[in-house]
Amino acid sequence: MRLINFMCILLFCFININENNGYRILGIFPSNVRSHFVMFEKLMKGLIIKGHDVDIISYFPLKEKIKNYKHISVDELLPAKHNNVSFQSFIKPMRNIFWVSLVADDIGNKFCDIFKHQQVNDILNKSSHVPYDLVVTELFFAPCYFALGRYLNVPIVAMSSNALFDFMNDPFGNPINPSFIPSGMVTYSQKMTFWQRLVNTICTNFMKIIFNRNIQIQDKYVEKYFGPGYPTVYDLQKEIALILVNSHFIFNGIRPITPSIVEVGGMHIQDEGEKLPQEIQKWLDESDAGCIYVTFGSMVKIESFPDEILDAFYTTFRNIAPMRVLMKIANEKELPSGLPENVKTHHWLPQLEVLKHNNTKVFVTHGGLMGTMEAIYYGVPMIGVPLFGDQHSNMHHYERQKIAILMKLETITASRFTNAIQTILNVPIYRTTVKKLSEMFKDRQNSPLETAIFWVEFICRNGNVLKSPAIDLEWWQLNLLDVYGFILFIIFITFYIIYSLSRILIRLLRRLKSHKKFISGTVKKNM
């Protein structure tokens, strides 16, 4: 009996120690895009399971009821972008070189008004809660949130569901060299010609200028909600302690990164035992000839595409029968009539479960990073139809790797689409290559989630110690223009001194020579 009591006391102490060692973490995720939150949700759930107390401000509450978790919903501020983005309203305007400006306003500047929400304001009132140990937020187009670090006097951890864009490197002192790192505006490989490097350099700097100009308006939001005396939003980015990035070298190439930037590509890919709807499970199980999975992400409505594109889809699906098609459609009633019998639609699908099914043979996608990561993880080759943003560069990269075929939305025809599907199915290199990349993607010392949790806890324990000293240098110091200028100046002065001394020496030699001639002539005359 005493032994049992002793064990109970030990267990109680162990639980108590674990609870006392947990950190209090605030997660604030302003994006109303569901696909972005999927990655953030995985980290926050992982931190909760580790015993940390987590408060989350977002549009998307966790499904589970967990003891040490509190959700503050801000869904009344903006409508969530989920199965409601049409071609005309968003996709078409995004298909130009100024997409950075559009995104900066649509899912950037507007989010800064989240601080007017009463419950969010209560969080900011330091006297109303136990102090936080850390803030976790998104790194995208709303750097106004980084003011929370100073306001709450805690480190900031930022997360990016994309690979770092051109403009996301300088504030962290992370080197971005356009000679071999392609801009988000181009579709080049890392081996560029002279003209490609020229264009890439211009695009890289253009992206930085456009982004930094568009976010300046957020300085006013910071002053409005936090008071005067704060740095600019550009400088607030320099105070971030850790950046967790959804990237991996097989997707983004080899590039230098500082210790404060940690790659956790694929962290959102976790098998949590989610089941397919029974009718979808049956559809896939009975797809003996194989199934094509078609989706353009969590936001986009395929049914809003131009009629000629939907007609090309329908004809292609008929052409590949008896192969089946599983397609994510927000509202089937908005589709044109005549949907082929070998097509099944659904408004939402557990994508991981679909992709890992043995009968899923091809993934037709818009080329978003998270979805394509999932396809590579499960070894499914792709047909990419990029719409905007990094989707173009993603799909060009995959096509070069021979794991995908790229198609432009404007030039899709039934014959081209059908041929692309047949090529993926009948040319072995696509499936062979994607299987090899899948194995490489999974070959890691620790899982992406374990890596992310370790570094978050490291920052909680040690503070902002990973910051690069490069952020304290001006651009001309960082690029050693002052040093090179000084060296050139010394070289110029040295050559100038040598030149001047040479001229003086030549003059002296000439004078000496003429003097000798004069003396020689005088002697001859006297003789």
pLDDT tens, position by position, 417-439? 999 999 999 999 999 999 999 99
Omega of the bond prior to 386 within 30 degrees of 0, cis? no
The answer to whether residues 352 and 374 touch, using CB atoms and an 8 Å cutoff, is: yes
pLDDT number for residue 26: 94
* Element at 326 (helix H, strand E): strand 324-328
pLDDT > 80? residue 181: yes
> Could you give the CA distance from residue 132 to residue 155 in angstroms, rounded to a whole number?
10
User: What is the pLDDT at residue 60?
Assistant: 87
What is the pTM for the complete model shown? 0.87
Query: If pLDDT is split at 50, 70 and 90, which confidence band does 222 have?
Result: very high
pLDDT tier for residue 92 given thresholds of 50, 70 and 90:
low
Tell me, what's the pLDDT at 418? Answer: 96
Rounded CA-CA distance 454/448 in Å is 10
Per-residue confidence band for 127, with pLDDT thresholds at 50, 70 and 90: very low
CA dist., res. 327 & res. 344, Å (int): 6
Instruction: For residue range 499-508, list pLDDT tens digits in order.
Output: 999 989 888 8
- Above 60 in pLDDT, residue 17? no
For residue 173, the cross-strand partners are none
| pLDDT the model gives residue 341 | 93
Q: Name the pLDDT band for 5 (thresholds 50, 70, 90).
A: very low
Question: What is the rounded CA–CA span in Å between residue 62 and residue 45?
Answer: 8
pLDDT of residue 161: 92
Pair of tokens at residue 53: 């107390």
Long-range contacts of 216-220 (CB under 8 A, 24+ apart): 217/109, 218/108, 218/109, 218/112, 218/142, 218/143, 218/144
Instruction: Tell me which DSSP letter residue 336 carries.
Output: P
Q: Per mean pLDDT, which range of 86-95, 174-183, 255-264, 512-521 is the poorest?
A: 86-95
pLDDT confidence bin for 517, thresholds 50/70/90: low
What's the pLDDT score for residue 122? 78
Task: Using the predicted structure, report yes or no on whether residue 4 has a pLDDT greater than 60.
Answer: no
Between 393 and 107, name the one with better pLDDT.
393
Lowest mean pLDDT among 146-150, 281-285, 345-349, 441-445: 345-349
Q: From CA 114, how far away is CA 144, in angstroms rounded?
A: 10
The pLDDT assigned to 511 comes to: 81
